[in-house]
């Protein structure tokens, strides 16, 4: 047996992650055209307005209109882990008029809205006077509500443009002539941070603290028939089990003045494992490649109504490339685990897309039942695709990473050799010689197996790049009689 040590992988990237133990042929190329996937409904974690962290609502500074506003959204589910994860989305807005966030003012007693007005009642005269003096200086004013009275829908904030105010000192009321506005009409820029960091600390970084966790596991029933072409070929999945744990965070910066997305990137931590065993019965010489995809992408969404939807879609499948010179039974499979993959995916600039980790552990095996020339490459795919829709489709993108670990087996055997139990010395005393780099096996039997791995990153309809492509010889054996 010969095995080359695995060296740490130093690059890779992005919004869609696709894992695959692939054939040698597939590992040699990467298609550049990644069409967007059609999502299937899945679990949704709805995030709604939450209090700003460490904000003193008694501070009168929050009564003074300002050009920027920071808003915070978090899980409203008492058990968020059951619906896609926990964490927060923090939003920084720079608006075209000075703004007051009413939920940040402890002096506000109540807020009521009509189609043409916002009526703010105050708890004390000091708050009323400060608001009246500062608000009256604004030719136009933006008020942001947080499910107060009837001002906005559940899980949403309301944005109102005010062009006139009238005060009632005896009742401590300020009545604002106002109309509800979409963010696209009142914002100049918008920053979204999909993380647990305060919006005030936003800044581009290679790795954000992950805040959303998406678990995924799936298994086929043993002996599932993958392909049947009687009388020539039957392929059965003896075992096919997949699991993954994905955590992610990210950053979006949109310029409304320029109608342009300035920045969009994600940091994704992913752990994957799979156990795949496939057996094939060939009744004659045959050559076949196939893919078995029992599931579509199912998106587990993080949703802020009216603002953004994001999340990874997960799917799995099986693939096999097989050819044989005569009738034969073939078995091939592998167990693999990659617990520590991290990727920073920059959707707008592929040069900034990098990956660390992705160090695999693996155990391949294969065997054939008769003298034959056989190529048997088994694969199992697990796909994770990050998708984002911002402000009803103003930005609608998906991206991802395709990681392809695989096993390619080539046999030329005179008798059955079960590679799962192959040793340097056989039970009968025959010698299994390692002959890496030497294609001659004389009159013996040979078996060659390679571990293949590639990492491809892409942004749908924008760019794709291969970051890592490598092959590691695992076995190159000669059985001498």
Give me the residues of the chain with pLDDT under 70, please.
1-43, 76-87, 148-149, 195-214, 295-301, 314-315, 382-384, 413-445, 478-481
Q: Buried b vs exposed e over 74-96: b needs ≥16 C-beta within 10 Å?
A: bbebeebeebbbbbbbbbbbbbe
Closest CA to 249 of 90, 68, 54, 446: 90
Query: What's residue 77's pLDDT?
Result: 60
Distance CA 311, CA 319 (A): 26
The overall pTM is greater than 0.85: no
Query: What's residue 166's pLDDT?
Result: 94
- Which helix (H) or strand (E) segment is 25 a member of? helix 24-27
Query: What's residue 207's pLDDT?
Result: 37
Under 8 Å between Cβ of 456 and 402: yes
54: left (phi > 0), else alpha (psi -120 to 50), else beta?
left
Cα dihedral 196, 457, 362, 4 in deg (nearest 10): -120
Distance CA 248, CA 297 (A): 18
Query: What's residue 78's pLDDT?
Result: 55
3-state secondary structure at position 81 = helix
Query: What's residue 441's pLDDT?
Result: 64
Distance CA 209, CA 89 (A): 12
């Amino acid at each position: 047996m010969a095995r080359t040590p695995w060296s740490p992988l130093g690059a890779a990237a992005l919004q869609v992650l696709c894992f695959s133990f692939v054939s040698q042929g597939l590992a040699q190329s990467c298609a550049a055209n990644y069409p967007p996937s059609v999502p299937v409904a899945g679990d949704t974690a709805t995030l709604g307005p939450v209090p700003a962290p460490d904000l003193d609502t008694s501070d009168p500074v929050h009564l003074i209109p300002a050009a920027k506003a920071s808003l915070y959204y978090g899980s409203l589910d008492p058990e968020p882990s059951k619906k896609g994860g926990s964490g927060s989305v923090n939003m920084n807005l720079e608006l075209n008029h000075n703004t007051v966030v009413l939920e940040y003012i402890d002096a506000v007693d109540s807020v009521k809205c009509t189609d043409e007005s916002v009526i703010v009642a105050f708890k004390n005269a000091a708050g009323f006077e400060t608001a009246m003096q500062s608000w009256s200086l604004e030719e136009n004013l933006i008020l942001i509500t947080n499910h107060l009275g009837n001002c906005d829908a559940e899980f949403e904030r309301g944005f109102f443009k005010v062009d006139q105010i009238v005060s009632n000192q005896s009742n401590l009321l300020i009545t604002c002539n106002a109309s509800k506005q979409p963010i696209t009409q009142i914002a100049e820029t918008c920053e979204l941070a999909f993380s647990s960091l305060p919006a005030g600390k936003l800044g581009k970084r290679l790795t954000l603290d992950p805040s959303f966790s998406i678990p995924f596991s799936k298994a086929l029933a043993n002996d599932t028939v993958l392909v049947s072409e009687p009388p020539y070929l039957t392929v059965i999945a003896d075992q096919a089990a997949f699991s993954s744990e994905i955590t992610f965070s990210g950053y979006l910066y949109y310029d409304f003045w320029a109608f342009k997305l300035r920045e969009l990137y994600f940091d994704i931590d992913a752990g994957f494992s799979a156990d795949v065993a496939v057996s094939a019965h060939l009744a004659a010489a045959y050559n076949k490649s196939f893919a078995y995809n029992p599931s579509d992408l199912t998106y587990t969404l993080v949703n802020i109504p009216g603002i953004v939807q994001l999340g990874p879609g997960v799917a799995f499948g099986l693939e096999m490339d097989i050819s044989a010179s005569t009738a034969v039974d073939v078995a091939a499979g592998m167990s693999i685990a990659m617990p520590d993959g991290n990727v920073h995916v920059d959707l707008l600039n592929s040069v900034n897309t990098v990956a660390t980790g992705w160090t695999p552990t693996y155990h391949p095996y294969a065997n054939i039942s008769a003298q034959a020339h056989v190529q048997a490459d088994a694969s199992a795919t697990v796909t994770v695709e990050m998708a984002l829709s911002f402000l009803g489709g103003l930005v609608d993108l998906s991206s991802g990473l395709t990681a392809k670990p695989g096993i390619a087996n080539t046999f030329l055997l005179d008798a059955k050799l079960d590679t799962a139990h192959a040793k340097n010395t056989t039970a009968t005393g025959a010698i299994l010689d390692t002959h890496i780099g030497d294609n001659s096996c004389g009159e013996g039997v040979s078996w060659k197996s390679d571990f293949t791995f590639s990492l491809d990153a892409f942004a749908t309809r924008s760019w794709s790049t291969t970051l890592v492509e490598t092959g590691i010889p695992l076995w190159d054996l000669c059985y001498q009689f």
